[in-house]
Amino acid sequence: MNMVHKIAHTRKQFLWFMVGLEDIAQNVYGFAPDIISAQIALETAYGKKVINHNLFNIKATKSWKGETCKVMTTEYISGKPKKMFQYFRAYNSYLDSLKDYVHLLHYKRYADAWAFRKNPRLFFQALVNGGYATDPEYSKSLLKRFNTIQHIERHGETIG
């Protein structure tokens, strides 16, 4: 199964899409505003490349029992980008993707990230420390998306 689709064409459309998921992330799981949107913005290019409802681009390891998608991606090996095919988890809904992401953050390797879910800078760095991504600039890229989203919301393009 290989299904990459768009959820938005612009950043503003992306933020409109994120309103419901942000509400759940904040009110059910205790995340600070826009942390989830920043990570999804980075992982999906602001909603332009979503792999089968997998908003966080979580890979399908051997322990994954659900559906998968094989997609060309860029991984960093010894700090150098390399294109390769990887298997990613597939979900039936965006809410399933969020729930699985929260479940993943409860694993020991991401315990610090879970603890820092109210502090964007510490949360993003803890994801990197736990091995969430191979990109050496991942934390910096997440913070850049976070700041961009905050800027859009502060300058008259408030969403929701």
Q: How confident is the model at residue 79 (pLDDT cuts 50, 70, 90)?
A: confident
What does the pLDDT look like over 40-76, one tens digit per residue? 999 999 999 999 999 999 999 999 999 999 999 999 9
CATH topology of domain 4-57+92-154: Lysozyme (1.10.530)
Q: What is the spatial distance between Cα 38 and Cα 31, in angstroms, rounded to a whole number?
A: 12
- The whole-model pTM stands at 0.92
What does the pLDDT look like over 8-47, one tens digit per residue? 999 999 999 999 999 999 999 999 999 999 999 999 999 9
Residue 100 is a catalytic residue: yes
- Among the listed residues 75, 96, 135, 153, the single catalytic one is 75
pLDDT, position 156: 58
Tokens at residue 11, please? Answer: 């950043």
- Among the listed residues 22, 34, 43, 100, the single catalytic one is 100
Closest CA to 142 of 132, 153, 156, 155: 132
Residue 137 is a catalytic residue: no
Query: How many Å from the N-terminal Cα to the C-terminal Cα in the chain?
Result: 34
* Mean pLDDT score, 126-132: 95
pLDDT, position 3: 84
